[in-house]
Amino acid sequence: MATPEPSRYTTRHVWTLAWPIILSNITVPLLGLVDTAVVGHLPDSRYLAAVTLGATLFSFLYWGFGFLRMGTTGLTSQAVGRHDDSDVRLLLAQSLMMAVTIGLLLILFSQPLIALGLRLLDGSEAAMSLAASYAHIRIFSAPAVLANYAILGWFIGQQKTRITFAILLLTNAVNILLDLLFVVGFGLASDGVAWASLLADYSALAFGLWRVAVHCRGLGGELSRRALRAWANYSALIRVNRHLFVRTLGLLFAQAFFTAQGADFGDTVLAANAVLLQFIMLTSYALDGFANAAEALTGRAVGQRAWDDFAAAVRAAGRLSLLVAGAAMLLFAGAGEHLIALLTNLPEVRATAADYLPWMIAMPALAVWSYLLDGVFIGATESRAMRDTVWLAIAVYLPVWWLTQDFGNHGLWFAFLCFTLVRSASLGVCYLRYRRTRWSADNA
């Protein structure tokens, strides 16, 4: 493989990588809307409750292993920067081995995992029974879902974001079509949604493996089976992924704690908080795209030891991220109540959400840095900093919540903003330290 000249990354370069990811992110809520629509029109609400419980369980379960995507991206992008195609091949094979192994273990221990997860979600008896049936079907998608994480990370690391868009678009398109077929056509209710997800995940895996095979024809190097079998060769992947796993647990805890404390204020406040959290999700669709672009570009720069390119990539991704964050703040300030009205038609929930809207207007300005710098540190494979900053933020989040309990849900939102602020600020400190030490080391 010919060695390309390193180039200064521009805003246009970042946008070229980011837009397919942003578009693919938009398909996620579309799938959720279809799931809700097809099951929500069934004669009994317990089917919708069951799908909601089951989907929530798997969102948390699979998100916990999101390191398979992030860790693969960072290490692959660095291998690309070193022009080591053999290592690019090996990283995918290693990640797929880990993904399938974890997926099979999840199936093996599915009985206690599902029982515990549904018990924590605490739905009605009728909904829990249907949700358990849904979950025992959906769990068999675990190897495919986790393998898809590895494939997506591998392609992002090589800046092939249009392929990731195609994989995710196929996943959601197949899922939507099978939802309609199984639920509306065959009358399988909540189980039909589970079967649709299962088959969509394996369809995406088949398509992804085909794209991998096509892409590998243009790669140099070769896959060493001996290297694949050697446990020592997994050390870099395990080191990065273990920190990412602990970091993800911290984020899951912070989110679950916020939801649980909001529930103590009653159903109306809980619903209002859920509506406002959709604003964060909306912002994340774009910010994730720029963060993923930063992963690929900074990782490649680290592999080349091209620190000027590294800084240029961060600046370009930062400009676009700040632009989106600013636009989100203006949107929430100017049309926040209209957006709330689109998400709920319950007057009391609308009024309550409007009371807490100012917290959401401030959120993008604080959260933008955590999205961007997460992407930078994934590319640099500095996952320890990501882990430590999340748990540092939690160490501030919980005391602030405890001290502001007299302010009710306003206190809870203030604590959550402090969590976001500390996470962003501490990542910023880590980034400045990383730049100083790496630049100095290479120039010594």
293 in helix, strand or coil?
helix
Domain boundary (229, 251, 273) is at: 229
Residue 250 lies in a domain: yes
Count CB-CB contacts under 10 A for residue 197. 27
Domain boundary (181, 196, 229) is at: 229
| Cα gap 68→152, rounded to integer Å | 9
Q: Are residues 371 and 225 in the same domain?
A: no
Residue 29 lies in a domain: no
Domain boundary (188, 207, 229) is at: 229
| Residue pair 58/193 in contact by the 8 Å Cβ criterion | no
Task: Please give the pLDDT value at position 354.
Answer: 92
Task: Please give the pLDDT value at position 2.
Answer: 41
Q: CA angle 208-10-312, nearest 5°?
A: 100
Residue 3 lies in a domain: no
Closest to 76 in 3D by CA, of 86, 64, 66: 86
Residue 21 lies in a domain: no
Q: What's the Cα-to-Cα distance from 90 to each of 94, 96, 155, 339, 379, rounded to whole Å?
A: 6, 10, 14, 46, 18
Domains identified in the chain, total number: 2
Q: What's the Cα-to-Cα distance from 179 to each of 61, 109, 196, 327, rounded to whole Å?
A: 22, 27, 5, 35
* pLDDT by 10s per residue, the chain, length 444: 444 444 567 888 899 999 998 888 877 766 666 666 677 667 666 777 777 778 878 888 888 898 899 999 999 999 999 999 999 999 999 999 999 999 999 999 999 999 998 888 766 777 788 889 999 999 999 999 999 999 999 999 999 999 999 999 999 899 989 988 998 888 888 899 899 999 999 999 999 999 999 999 999 989 888 888 888 888 888 999 999 999 999 998 898 888 888 878 887 887 888 788 878 888 888 899 999 999 999 999 999 988 889 999 999 999 999 999 999 999 999 998 988 887 777 788 889 889 999 999 999 999 999 999 999 999 999 999 999 999 999 999 999 999 999 999 999 999 999 999 999 999 999 999 998 887 666 655
Q: What is the pTM of this model?
A: 0.90
Q: Are residues 247 and 221 in the same domain?
A: no
Q: Are residues 272 and 313 in the same domain?
A: yes
**Which amino acid would we find at residue 322?**
L
Rg of the chain in Å (alpha carbons): 22
Q: Are residues 292 and 436 in the same domain?
A: yes
| Cα gap 201→196, rounded to integer Å | 9
Residue 142 lies in a domain: yes
Residue 24 lies in a domain: no
| Residue pair 294/372 in contact by the 8 Å Cβ criterion | yes
Task: Please give the pLDDT value at position 3.
Answer: 46
Calculate helix-pair angle for 110-121, 85-108, nearest 10 degrees: 80
Count CB-CB contacts under 10 A for residue 210. 10
Q: Are residues 330 and 386 in the same domain?
A: yes
Q: Give the sign of the dihedral formed by CA 317, CA 319, CA 322, CA 324.
A: negative
Q: How many residues does the chain have?
A: 444
Q: Are residues 212 and 335 in the same domain?
A: no
Q: Are residues 182 and 319 in the same domain?
A: no
| Domain containing residue 77 | 42-229
